[in-house]
Amino acid sequence: MPWFQDFVGAAELVRTQNRATGQDDPVGQYVAALGRGDVHTLQTAWPGEMVVYDPRFGEVRGHRQLRQFLRYSKSWWAEHGMTRVEHVAATVTRDRAVVELVAHLAPDGRELAWPVAVVAESPDDLSVVFRTYFSLRAVDGQPHVRAAILAPGPADPGDVVGRYQAALADGDAAAAVATFEPDGYYREPGGASVVHRGAGELGSFFTTSFSAGGGIGLQDCAVTDDGVRCAVEYNCVRWGAHDLPPQAGIGVFERGPDGLLAAARVYDDVVPPTGG
């Protein structure tokens, strides 16, 4: 039956093309699937193992859990009035991509530009791991503790990002400000409008952040660096004099032309001990 062979060949070609599309833009496919509640596109692109780490749903493994998670996510997006998703930046290396987004929500009639970062990592050609980072507190106003996802590793960002992290650990506000360009900014996890720009605003922000008895202790877990942006996945374990249960987060640091930070964008749900 030659027609059947042609049909099978065409179907396989479609599957191959869909796989290629998904692997070329894994985060785009993933975010689209969240909005549609559609598992088939992801399973076609990644027929091997797929693992999702989501702040709301936790760890997702296997096709059954994936279907449940996608149905939940579609309902959650609808409930919170998601109108559109805006692409901010992508940091891409050979086996990992970090994509920054802003989801525009309207929960309870109020507009919220909500920062989200998604990491896609491929251990092999058939499998993928998605790790999503954002602040749930920005949406519901409630404190949340996000357990660690990754173990601390030998990752070392170096250059200006390493100097920034050293200043953060030491609680040195002046040194932290010195790592930014004159017009550089720090964006908090709580919303796209929560921005501190320029030496004056940055100095006030870091001085307040370090008012709990010292700096902020981060364990670096994974670094994704394309030369322009450096994304550091971390566990926050200390804030000032207070030890914290390890909490997962990611910071994306964008270098300016002079080698200083043009931007630092943070995605986590760590609550300062001072209550700020």
Task: Return the domain boundaries, the chain.
Answer: 2-139, 159-267
Is residue 134 within 8 Å of 189, Cβ to Cβ? yes
Task: State the average pLDDT over residues 218-240.
Answer: 97
In 3D space, the residue among 110, 75, 97, 124 whose CA is nearest the CA of residue 29 turns out to be 97
Task: State the average pLDDT over residues 94-107.
Answer: 93
In sequence order, which residues have a C-beta less than 8 Å from that of residue 223 and are 6 or more positions away? 155, 156, 157, 230, 231, 232, 233
Task: State the average pLDDT over residues 103-110.
Answer: 86
Q: What is the pLDDT of residues 114-165, one digit of tens each?
A: 999 999 999 998 999 999 999 999 999 998 999 999 999 887 898 999 999 9
Confidence of residue 23 (pLDDT cuts 50, 70, 90): low
Question: Of the CATH numbers 3.10.450.50, 3.30.70.2610, 3.30.1490.190, 3.30.830.10, which one belongs to the domain with range 159-267?
Answer: 3.10.450.50
pTM of the model: 0.89
Confidence of residue 200 (pLDDT cuts 50, 70, 90): very high
| Assigned fold of 2-139 | Nuclear Transport Factor 2; Chain: A, (3.10.450)
CA gap 16, 151 in Å, rounded: 35
Q: Do the domains 2-139 and 159-267 sit in the same CATH topology, yes or no? A: yes
